[in-house]
Amino acid sequence: MKRKLIVAGLMAILCISVFSGASFAKDIVLRLSDHDVLGGLKGQIGTFWLKEIEKQTEGKVKIKAYWGGTLFSAEEQLKALSDGVVDIAAIYPDFYPKQLPLFGAFWLFPKGPENWENIRWIYKESIAKIPEFDRELKQAGVKILLMENGLPMSYMARYPITSLKDIKGKKWRAGDRWNLKLLENQGAVAISVPWGDCYMALETGTVDGIVSNYDGMHRQKFDEPAKNILTGKAIGWSQPMFYCVNQKKWDSIPKELQEGILRATEITEKAFSEMYNGEFDRIVEAERKAGCTVNFYSPEDVDSWADETCLEGLREIFCSELEEDGIENSREMLEQMKAIIDEGIAKEK
């Protein structure tokens, strides 16, 4: 009931803003919805970006942010944004396999660069040069404003783990179908458990371990029941996360203010590199102080996880399913992505 009242209020505000063009031009307030709580890495980049928008637009654009799923769950965000109920929303493509299926391709390239500058370059190049991505976004009526990411894929276990060989025969949870397949390829018993149930699943032994983004697992305190961590930076949280804006709303914003928002985005995305590395180091230190054992995976572990024979099979499944849905050129798209990712990795050598 509370959520319905809030949404009804937002719709009323939307109507008022439409019919008060004179004041709207002077003072723009954009409503932002995020299913994540304002903490950790997400809190750092979100807070920095919103302040920078106000700074770069000289206070003419302000963001009214609703965190922690106050308005919409992760699965509801895209529709709310497309419908114009909110102006900006955090969009994680995995929650929208029908609307944004092509973004699932990023999971099929788990080995990537370690530095955010090169990860960002891969995302920008892929979306700029592969028109299929832009087509999906336009069909949803949204535009990417800010790119971010979770920390790299890491492994938290109830038992000692020093390499990926140690997950064989154990029950492991991943959050998407492709990483579940990669777990199976390592010899693990892959189990799907809702994110909100993972702490209890670890505590009760329903699962022996969880693989996900390092910061997300730490924020959820999975390292309390699972004090054995295997981490690193070369197995990326491959799929990008976005803050998107409703395209019609964006088109209604005066050009000079659009430019200010984009300047704020550029500054924030560049600043994210320091946040990204700093949060990784902070979590390692915090876990060790809490009595956790933190090990780092080896290059052999990385190559084992990114087993090309397994990935080729998964890419074939990916393309075949898209073709069944009438989506063509997926194989060409994957070839382009591979070339871009290889170039991004090469930038670090």
| 190-234 pLDDT, tens digit each | 999 999 999 999 999 999 999 999 999 999 999 999 999 999 999
Identify whether residues 81 and 133 lie together within a single domain: yes
- Number of domains comprising the chain: 2
Chain mean position to CA 221: 19
**Phi, psi of 225, deg, nearest 5:** -80, -20
Q: Do 255 and 337 reside in the same domain of the chain?
A: no
Higher pLDDT, 14 or 26: 26
Query: Within this chain, do residues 140 and 55 fall inside the same structural domain, yes or no?
Result: yes
pLDDT category at 42 given cuts 50, 70, 90 is confident
Q: Give the span between the Cα atoms of 18 and 38, in whole angstroms.
A: 30
Only one residue has tokens 């969880």, namely 210
Domain of 198, in residue numbers? 153-236+280-346
Which are the contacts of 248, defined by CB distance < 8 A and separation ≥ 6? Answer: 84, 141
CA dist 107 and 341 (Å) reads 12
Judge if 226 and 267 occupy the same domain: no
- Plot region of 150 (φ>0 → left; ψ -120 to 50 → alpha; else → beta): beta
Give the model's confidence band at 19: pLDDT under 50 very low, under 70 low, under 90 confident, else very high: very low
Measured distance CA(250)–CA(84) in Å, rounded: 11
**Residue 241: burial class (beta carbons within 10 Å; 0-12, 13-18, 19+):** buried
Domain with 71 in it: what CATH number? 3.40.190.170
Residue 347 pLDDT greater than 90, yes or no:
yes
CA–CA dist 36, 45 (Å, integer): 12
**Residues 195, 76 within the same domain:** no
User: Which pLDDT does position 10 carry in this prediction?
Assistant: 52
**Residue labelled with tokens 């997950």:** 167
**If you average pLDDT over residues 297-302, what whole number do you get?**
96
The number of residues making up the chain comes to: 349
Strand, coil or helix: what is 106? Answer: helix
What are the pLDDT digits (tens) for 150-202? 999 999 999 999 999 999 999 999 999 999 999 999 999 999 999 999 999 99
Averaged confidence pLDDT in the chain:
91
Looking at the fold, whether 50 and 126 belong to one and the same domain comes out as: yes
Question: Residue 321: which pLDDT band, with cuts at 50, 70 and 90?
Answer: very high
CB of 333 within 8 A of CB of 105? yes
Residues 326 and 314 in one domain: yes
Would you say 277 and 144 are in contact if contact means Cβ atoms under 8 Å apart? no
**Listed residues 227, 252, 278: the one ending a domain:** 278
pLDDT of residue 24: 41
DSSP string over 279-299 = HHHHHHHHHHHTT-EEEE--H
Is the domain of 20 the same as that of 33? Answer: yes
**% of the chain with per-residue pLDDT over 90:** 85
- The reply to whether 48 falls in a domain is yes
What per-residue confidence (pLDDT) applies to 9?
A: 52
Residues 75 and 203 in one domain: no
Residue pLDDT, tens place only, 119-142: 999 999 999 999 999 999 999 999
Burial class of residue 36 (count of CB atoms within 10 Å of its CB; 0-12, 13-18, 19+): buried
3-state secondary structure 147-203: EECCCCEEEEECCCCCCHHHHCCCEEECCCHHHHHHHHHCCCEEECCCHHHHHHHHH
Of 171, 168, 181, 237, give the one whose Cα is nearest residue 201: 171
Binning pLDDT at 50, 70 and 90, where does residue 3 land? low
pTM of the model: 0.88
The percentage of the chain sitting over the pLDDT mark of 70, rounded to a whole number, equals: 93
Q: Are residues 229 and 285 in the same domain?
A: yes
